[in-house]
Amino acid sequence: MYILLSDNNLKMTTIHNYKILEKIGQGQFGVVYRGKHERRGTEVAIKCEPQNTPYKLLKRETTILNMIYHTKYIPPILWFGKHNMWQVLVLPYYSLTLENYVINSLFSSTQSSQSIIQHLYQNMIEIMEHIHKHHVVHRDLKPQNFMIHNGNLVLIDFGLAIFTIDENGDNIPIKKSTHITGNVKFVSLNTHYGYSISPKDEMISCFYILLWMVYGKLPWSSPPLINSSEYDVTHVLHPLNMYVRYYKEWGVIQKFIDEYSPLDISCDTYWNEFLKKQIHDLML
């Protein structure tokens, strides 16, 4: 058992030349701040985790980031160390998420979005191929974890990421679980059946994000209101997860593509053919 320390002692303090400005996130295992380098003024993200946690997620995230660093797609580690009772990881701060960019720019634009979406999707595929080549799965793919930087995507938040091989270099077998890891809206259909996330599942998650960018919604975007359930919200048998699972079946998605028009109606034929080809390739 461990205690999540109060972050009051971190407010407006300085950690290794980085001044904390404001809290921008908090999870079960730690806190994230926006900060800046005292001398250079560059903005950073400061992730803090209690040293007494048994999970050591920041240490694992640091190990993974060091292994998969990419000058365009993966953020560099600016500093990692201890500060009082906290383990601290400092990374570049990116202000624009893919989610905000798509909602505020693409969804409201009267200009064709096809080339932009193609570019962003190609970025996603290249990022996933890069990290999978290093035997890593991210396990929390969603538009909020892709950032826009210099016209390209950067993948952040590797807190749930794991290796797909063990210390001997052997593939870790896919296991079954009763609970879903990651964002229910974007985890693959296989995850809803209890299978652990594989590289192929992450390609499927990228396809869901593409579908959302093209149509502005997903077949499972309007779930029913569920007041109670005998299952935890992350359980594969929770009614919400069962609802989403049904609408992620490939046949249902193909019907959705046939029945709905993309936001950029001028590209209807292109996206219909392209998306169905992606489905065919992902089903192989």
Provide the number of structural domains found in the chain. 2
3-state class of 216 per DSSP? coil
* Angle subtended by helix axes 199-215 and 114-133, to nearest 10: 170
Query: Is the separation of the CB atoms in 108 and 77 below 8 Å?
Result: no
Domain presence at residue 194: yes
Question: Which of 74, 92, 110 corresponds to the end of one domain?
Answer: 92
Whole-angstrom Cα distance, residue 144 to residue 169?
Answer: 32
| Per annotation, catalytic residue among 7, 140, 157, 268 | 140
Tell me whether residue 170 is one of the annotated catalytic residues: no
Whole domain around residue 37: which residue ranges?
Answer: 8-92
Q: Are residues 125 and 265 in the same domain?
A: yes
Domain presence at residue 3: no
Distances (CA, A) of 270 to 66, 186, 257, 276: 39, 23, 11, 10
The tens digit of pLDDT for each residue in 240-267 reads: 999 999 999 999 999 999 999 999 999 9
Q: Are residues 133 and 240 in the same domain?
A: yes
Q: Are residues 239 and 253 in the same domain?
A: yes
At 178, which CATH number? 1.10.510.10
What is the number of residues in the chain?
284
Q: Are residues 143 and 63 in the same domain?
A: no
Query: Is the separation of the CB atoms in 267 and 273 below 8 Å?
Result: no
Distances (CA, A) of 72 to 43, 146, 184, 267: 18, 12, 28, 29
Whole-angstrom Cα distance, residue 83 to residue 51?
Answer: 9
Q: Are residues 34 and 126 in the same domain?
A: no
Q: Are residues 83 and 108 in the same domain?
A: no
Query: Is the separation of the CB atoms in 220 and 185 below 8 Å?
Result: yes
Q: What is the pLDDT of residue 2?
A: 41
Domain presence at residue 2: no
Token pair of 42 as six digits: 């560059």
Q: Are residues 259 and 161 in the same domain?
A: yes
Domain presence at residue 113: yes
Domain presence at residue 184: yes
Q: Looking at the whole model, is its pTM more than 0.75? A: yes
Residue carrying structure tokens 């960019």: 101
10-residue stretch averages of pLDDT, the chain, 284 residues long = 50 87 87 96 96 90 97 97 94 98 92 94 98 98 97 96 94 93 97 96 98 98 90 96 98 98 96 98 93
